[in-house]
């Protein structure tokens, strides 16, 4: 048995066979969480999430983090709001589909940027090719300018941090983003303390991840802080995900010729 599997079963005090029986009996449910005595970081945990969408969002930027939160929501009563310019479905395909492919997915907003819910506790901001086109993100940008300062926690994935940087709210804060578009990302927020070599960066209540798949590691780290290590580890093992727990693990910085000197545990980005 691997050390990481031991970690989960040692935390819960339940054997692998016993765990399988409990999941088969209770499914993913509050009853299962009670049986496993999964600890929470505190009684006051974030429950209300708002996902920001625009045409050309990256699918895994959205669905990777959401799948982790979907599983957590079977144990804790989370709420998800999906925000867009209108209530029309929003596609992963940017308007400049040069290949002529008919291959994309859509999500249906629950709210518009003009009429958002009042109880947002966590903003989820994906990236994607759509962030390269101002006409795709104009309404999202205006919403973030007005809303970001009032929201307790924010998570960006990939070039979602570049979008948020355009508001000026990231000035003098540490953040990272997709390394394949690093020069463009930096141009969107010259006053941001961009960290070149990082899987994700936490700066207080702001969590920013590197490109696409890195969003899942970032959200696992967020979930561990918000809901407790036991719950985060349970969801990880049930999802059969090999998580990177070191925020400085970033082989793609080297691929793209990045990765400045390390200072206080993070690269300087210089």
**Model confidence pLDDT, tens digit, residues 177-221:** 999 999 999 999 999 999 999 999 999 999 999 999 999 999 999
Task: Give the Å distances, CA to CA, from 218 to 36, 96, 184, 212, 235.
Answer: 25, 30, 22, 11, 14
Interior CA angle at 92 toward 137 and 46, to 5°? 70
pLDDT of residue 43: 67
Lowest mean pLDDT, pick from 20-24, 116-120, 149-153, 201-205: 20-24
pLDDT of residue 118: 95
Q: What is the pLDDT of residues 121-175, one digit of tens each?
A: 999 999 999 999 999 999 999 999 999 999 999 999 999 999 999 999 999 999 9
pLDDT tops 70 at residue 37? yes
17 domain-assigned? no
The parent domain of residue 168 ranges over 45-254
Q: What CATH number is given to the structural domain containing 129?
A: 3.40.50.880
123 domain-assigned? yes
The pair of structure tokens assigned to 233 is: 């580890």
Measured CA to CA, the distance from residue 52 to residue 136 in angstroms comes to 12
pLDDT of residue 226: 94
- Structural domain count of the chain: 1
55 domain-assigned? yes
Q: Are the C-beta atoms of 215 and 61 separated by less than 8 Å? A: yes
Longest CA pairwise span in the chain (Å): 54
3-state DSSP assignment of residue 270: coil
Interior CA angle at 46 toward 192 and 168, to 5°? 20
9 domain-assigned? no
Distance between terminal CA atoms of the chain? 43
Instruction: Give me the helices (H) in 166-213, please.
Output: 182-188
- Among candidate residues 128, 126, 264, the one with its CA nearest the CA of residue 197: 264
CB 86: neighbour CB atoms within 10 A? Answer: 11
Contacts of 96 (CB under 8 A, 6+ apart): 129, 133
270 domain-assigned? no
* Residues 226, 31, 17, 231, Cα dihedral to 10°: 0
Measured CA to CA, the distance from residue 126 to residue 213 in angstroms comes to 11
- The beta strands (E) that lie in the chain are given as 48-52, 79-84, 90-91, 106-107, 111-112, 122-125, 153-156, 174-175, 193-194, 200-203, 206-209, 262-263, 266-267
Residues of the chain with pLDDT > 70, as a percent, come to 90
Measured CA to CA, the distance from residue 138 to residue 130 in angstroms comes to 11
27 domain-assigned? no
CB-count exposure of residue 263 (10 Å: 0-12, 13-18, 19+): exposed
Higher pLDDT, 85 or 31: 85
Q: What is the pLDDT of residues 45-77, one digit of tens each?
A: 999 999 999 999 999 999 999 999 999 999 888
38 domain-assigned? no
CB 245: neighbour CB atoms within 10 A? Answer: 12
pLDDT of residue 94: 81
40 domain-assigned? no
Q: What is the pLDDT of residues 214-267, one digit of tens each?
A: 999 999 999 999 998 888 999 999 899 999 999 999 999 999 999 764 434 444
pLDDT of residue 127: 98
């Amino acid at each position: 048995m691997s050390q990481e599997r031991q970690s989960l079963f040692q935390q819960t005090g339940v054997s692998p066979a016993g765990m399988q029986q409990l999941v088969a009996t209770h499914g993913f449910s509050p009853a299962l969480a009670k049986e496993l005595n999964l600890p929470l970081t505190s009684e006051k945990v974030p429950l209300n999430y708002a996902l920001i969408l625009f045409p050309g969002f990256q699918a895994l930027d959205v669905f990777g983090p959401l799948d982790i939160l979907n599983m957590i929501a079977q144990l804790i009563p989370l709420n998800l709001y999906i925000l867009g310019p209108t209530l029309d479905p929003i596609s992963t395909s940017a308007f400049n589909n040069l290949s002529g492919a008919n291959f994309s997915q859509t999500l249906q907003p629950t709210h518009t940027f003009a009429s958002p819910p009042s109880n947002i506790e966590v903003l989820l901001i994906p990236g994607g090719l759509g962030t390269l086109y101002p006409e795709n993100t104009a309404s999202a940008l205006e919403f973030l300018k007005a809303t970001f300062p009032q929201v307790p926690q924010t998570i960006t994935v990939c070039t979602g941090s570049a979008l948020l940087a355009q508001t000026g709210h990231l000035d003098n804060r540490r953040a990272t983003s997709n390394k394949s578009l690093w020069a463009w990302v930096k141009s969107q927020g010259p006053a941001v303390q961009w960290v070149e070599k990082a899987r994700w960066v936490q700066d207080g209540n702001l969590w920013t991840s590197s490109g696409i798949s890195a969003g899942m590691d970032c959200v696992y780290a967020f979930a561990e802080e918000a809901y407790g290590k036991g719950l985060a580890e349970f969801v990880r093992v049930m999802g059969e995900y090999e998580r990177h727990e070191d925020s400085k693990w970033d082989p793609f910085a080297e691929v793209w010729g990045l990765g400045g000197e390390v200072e206080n545990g993070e690269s300087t980005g210089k």
